[in-house]
Amino acid sequence: MTAPHHPSPTDSTEPAEATASTVRPADGRLPAPAEPDPPGARTAAVPGRTRQTAPEQAGPRRVVLDRRPDATTRLYCVPPAGMGPECYHRWARLLPAWIEPCTVSLPGRGARTGEVSLTDPDEVSALLAAVFDDPADARPFAVFGHSAGALLAYEAVRQLRRTQGRLPGLLAVSSLPAPHRGTYLLNLVPRLAAGLDGLRELLGPLPRRVLEDPRLMALVCTPLLADCLLLLHHRHCEEPPLDVPFVLYGGDRDPVVDPEELTAWNDLVTVPGPLRLMPGDHGHPHLSARALITDLTDTLRAHAHPGATR
């Protein structure tokens, strides 16, 4: 029997529409509308640090893209560098009814561009762990992270293990070299130094109106650079492999990450996961959303929820 869902105070549901005046990011997708600041504060345990209490509005917020109280599983999708909840709006329409699509809103991204970005990977992953393990919702959950979101998803799950929280029924990571090798540092710095050419590899083609407007360039690039700084600040801490169902995704034409760097993630889990290459470059979760979601749904059904229907 599925546990009843009681909405958490940190939940917010993304409206289906955005205003016409909203500025589109480089890929043409609409940023998420502003979300209300919930009351209270969250205390997060950061490895090797004193426990801190931060205002709720300063940390991640849960965003329920399509509230489905009858769904049996939640799927948390962590955005890539520089992006907010808007990058998973299309996913909400493609996921089956038994999965409730959720994502996270981080300071400095989307509707929260007026807030200061968080660039400490330990702090962000500890705060995300508290979002994933929702005490008001006992349903099983899975976690997907793309690019920089893959690192945050992985570290948040490790934080859940450290604090004896609930672990996800599936961890899926996409398009980031395995963090224990440090190769993404070698890949990232030259692209940052390459200017617009490097940004195009990370973001895709930039519209002319963005290139010609310094304000729009700042709007697009500031959160991206903040998340790149977060990646550069990360130092891998050796721990036992994660014992969770695991799957890897990448783009078959990704200029940023090659398959060998992806398969090295299997060093960090007890049971190696398969590598599924999707059509497209570094933006394959948007370009090949339907194919990726079909595979992810089948994998989640097999590993985390074998009784689920389409």
The per-residue pLDDT for 21 is 29
**Angstrom distance (rounded) from CA 87 to CA 169:** 23
Which fold does the domain 42-303 belong to in CATH? Answer: Rossmann fold (3.40.50)
The per-residue pLDDT for 207 is 73
Give yes or no for a contact between 199 and 282, defined as CB atoms under 8 angstroms apart. Answer: no
Percent residues over pLDDT 70 in the chain:
78
Give one DSSP letter per residue of 86-151, joined into a string: GGGHHHHHHS-TTEEEEEEE-TTSGGGTTSPPP--HHHHHHHHHHHHS-TTB-S-EEEEEETHHHH
Percent residues over pLDDT 90 in the chain:
58
Mean pLDDT score of the chain, rounded to an integer?
Answer: 81
**Residues 177-197 pLDDT 10s:** 999 987 777 777 777 777 777
Residue ranges covered by each domain of the chain: 42-303
**Residues 141-181 pLDDT 10s:** 999 999 999 999 999 999 999 999 999 999 999 999 999 98
Is residue 100 very low, low, confident or very high in pLDDT (cuts 50, 70, 90)? very high
Cα–Cα separations (whole angstroms), residue 185 to 119, 125, 137, 182, 286: 15, 19, 37, 6, 24
Q: Which residue would you say has higher pLDDT here, 169 or 199?
A: 169
Model confidence, pTM: 0.79
Q: Which residue would you say has higher pLDDT here, 39 or 67?
A: 67
Whether the per-residue pLDDT at 17 is higher than 90: the answer is no
